[in-house]
Amino acid sequence: MWKRKLKQGIESATQKKIVKMIKDSKLKVQAQIQGDEIRVTGKSRDDLQAVMAMVRGGDLGQPFQFKNFRD
């Protein structure tokens, strides 16, 4: 039988890496650490989608889920 451990939320070291990646990208978005989540806000849908692609493509060692994406 195979066992897998599931994680909920993002560890603080990974959160800091993600926020640094976002700030270094020079996109017009703001990133905030909120508990075990990261909140990213911005006016442009394209910038938010670019951040999502950057996080998915980054070598961060875990998959990510995005929620509450609104215009």
Instruction: Indicate which CATH number applies to the domain containing 29.
Output: 3.30.70.860
Instruction: Confirm whether 44 is domain-assigned.
Output: yes
**DSSP bridge pairs for 29:** 42
Amino acid at 49: Q
pLDDT in tens, 7-40: 777 888 888 999 999 999 999 999 999 888 889 9
Instruction: Confirm whether 7 is domain-assigned.
Output: no
**DSSP bridge pairs for 33:** 38
DSSP state of 36: T
Residue ranges making up the domain that contains 39: 12-57
Say how many residues make up the chain.
Answer: 71
Q: Per-residue pLDDT for 3 more than 80? A: no
Instruction: Confirm whether 28 is domain-assigned.
Output: yes
pTM of the model: 0.78
Tell me if 25 sits within 8 A of 54, measured CB to CB.
Answer: yes
Tell me if 31 sits within 8 A of 23, measured CB to CB.
Answer: yes
